[in-house]
Amino acid sequence: MPAGRLDPDSPYYSYQGSLVMDGPLDLGRLARAWDLLLQENPLLLARFTEEDGEPAHQYPHWDVPFPAAEDLSGLPPGERARVHRDHATAEAARPFDLTGGPSLRARLFAFGGGEHRLLVTMHEILLDGWGATVLFQRLADLYERTARPGAAPDPERAGRYDRYLDWHADLLRTPEVAEAGAYWRRRLAGELPVLDIAGNPRPARPTYRGGIVEAVVGADASGRLRAAAARAGCTPFVLLLAAYALALTYYADADEVVIGAPMANRERPEQAGVPAFMLAMLPLRVRIDDGATLASFTGTVRDLVLDACAAADHPFGWTLRHLTAASRSEAVTPVFQTMINMLAYPARDAAADGVSFRFVELDTGFTKYDCALYVQPHGPDALLVQFSHQRELLDTATARNVLDSTLLALRALVDSPETHIRALDLLPGPSSESRAQAETTIGA
């Protein structure tokens, strides 16, 4: 079933980024590079439909011409950024008709002083963050090539997605993928918990408008986190997942939670350089034994993550078909209602003929889950931790408390691993270290 079929008018499937270009940009060359990019990546022009009840896509089908520049240079600098942001918000709010039109939109803004920004909005069925980064690095390469006459698309790249589909079809027929499917059916058997930490009633038709609270884990604390993970034989992701699960079950008054975790799925050479959506979503069902120590709990979560990663080749959509207990309500996402994301993408900067190219992901202002935890590098040694939430479900104060409690649990996992879970105090107080966090509301 194509993404968006259950809620075709929802904007939360939008993925958006801005390609910031600084320098003596030749717009004619950039337009030619854009055309070459689309010829090398015909998936971007696909029409998505169904054949015999199964999802299908035909490509290339649509035409997405390079946009004319919209001149903002006559506005004050602060006003340029605001106008660009307003246009981005409006584009993100426009849903895509996967059958009736392109799943890709582009607008170009001239900021003056040699700065241009290419605003790209697409349905997430086309690309994930890794794929978008690869794609726009290639645009910089093609811009450089257009300085020479006769620049043409690379036929090897133009057939890359077709070869990936053939390889992936063979992979899905292997016994290992069948075994992975059996693993997920065991892990997700029975009645699945529905996360309930909302301070407000769940609306029948959510708007998905999101808010964010955030905190910085400083260099010293981040160093202790890495050291604790090494001692436990795991990555920092395991400890962050464990902390988040402890905080969520604390507020839900529950002993288990299912947390979605995206996996980049780019480890194999057949996947690494293909601009496409390849994220594998892992539904991690975490059970809490309040008699266990934090060290023991960390080991349990570590083993859970290892097993889930080993079964990542089995598509989540296939798993969903076999889960009769999974909610199909428009108000509740099936299997899990929260997510943790700690993915790192390849380097995003490039340069060509004196022009710098930098791709920046934009927050669309919408969140498809009740809440989500995002963790990314912040400077050379620190971490930025962001907790996004649907504003209709959680007010800012509650969201801040969940983030504070997550950081309290993380500190206990790192510094006091012999503590029993039942002895944890996750109630944030006014002197909590994370009270100094910055707060941003999006999608206003």
Q: Which pLDDT tens digits describe the chain residue by residue (444 residues)?
A: 444 454 556 677 899 999 999 999 999 999 999 999 999 999 999 999 988 878 889 999 999 999 999 999 999 999 999 999 999 999 999 999 999 999 999 999 999 999 999 999 999 999 999 999 999 999 999 999 999 999 999 999 999 999 999 999 999 999 999 999 999 999 999 999 999 998 788 888 888 899 999 999 999 999 999 999 999 999 999 999 999 999 999 999 999 999 999 999 999 999 988 999 999 999 999 999 999 999 999 999 999 999 999 999 999 999 998 886 555 566 789 999 999 999 887 767 899 999 999 999 998 888 989 999 999 999 899 999 999 999 999 999 999 999 999 999 999 999 999 999 999 999 998 744 444 343 333 332
Helix residue ranges, H only, 219-374: 219-232, 236-252, 269-272, 294-310, 316-321
Q: How far, in Å, CA of 405 to CA of 386, rounded?
A: 13
Tokens in use for 429?
A: 């107080």
Residue 421 is part of which domain span?
Answer: 175-345+364-441
Integer Cα distance of 336 and 248 in angstroms:
12
| pTM, 2 dp | 0.90
Q: How many domains is the chain partitioned into structurally?
A: 2
Q: What is the CATH number of the domain that holds 149?
A: 3.30.559.10
352 inside domain: no
CATH number at residue 340: 3.30.559.30
Q: Is residue 4 assigned to a domain?
A: no
* Domain-ending residue, one of 158, 189, 204: 158
Ramachandran category for residue 160: left, alpha or beta (phi over 0 → left; psi -120 to 50 → alpha): alpha
CA distances from 213 to 6, 136, 437 (A): 29, 29, 7
Question: Within a domain: residue 5?
Answer: no
